[in-house]
């Protein structure tokens, strides 16, 4: 594993903080954790240090499914094709 996923739940949302480098071998674990409930899910990417193409594809898909991406670095935002939050 090249990432650490830390969950924080609140009454109105669920936040997952992602730290490290998100690569293809990490995606099944992230997908499993996210699959529980996408409604109100927020991914804090402030600790994300890098992404590969597979990770970019997953983050784009999650974003289109309504997952909020926060703490996005300029580098990751550029890879995702959108502005940093």
pLDDT at 68: 94
- Note down the domain range covering 64: 3-29+36-79
Task: Considering only residues 37 and 53, tell me which one the structure prediction assigns the higher pLDDT.
Answer: 53
pLDDT at 40: 86
pLDDT at 77: 93
Residue 85 pLDDT more than 60? no
| In a domain? residue 85 | no
pLDDT at 35: 85
| In a domain? residue 7 | yes
| In a domain? residue 84 | no
Whichever domain contains 52, its CATH number is 3.30.750.24
Q: What is the pLDDT of residues 8-47, one digit of tens each?
A: 877 778 899 999 999 999 999 999 988 877 788 999 999 9
Looking at the 3D structure of the chain, how many domains does it have? Answer: 1
- Where does residue 66 fall: left (phi above 0), alpha (psi -120 to 50 degrees), or beta otherwise? left
- SS3 of 43, please? strand
Q: Calculate the CA 14 to chain-centre distance.
A: 12
């Amino acid at each position: 594993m090249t990432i650490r996923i830390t969950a924080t739940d609140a009454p109105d949302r669920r936040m997952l903080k992602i730290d490290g480098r998100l690569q293809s071998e990490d995606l099944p674990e992230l997908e499993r954790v996210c699959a529980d409930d996408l409604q109100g899910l927020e991914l804090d990417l402030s600790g994300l240090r890098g992404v590969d193409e597979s990770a970019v594809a997953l983050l784009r898909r999650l974003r289109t499914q309504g997952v909020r991406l926060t703490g996005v670095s300029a580098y990751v935002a550029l890879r995702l094709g959108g502005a940093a939050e």
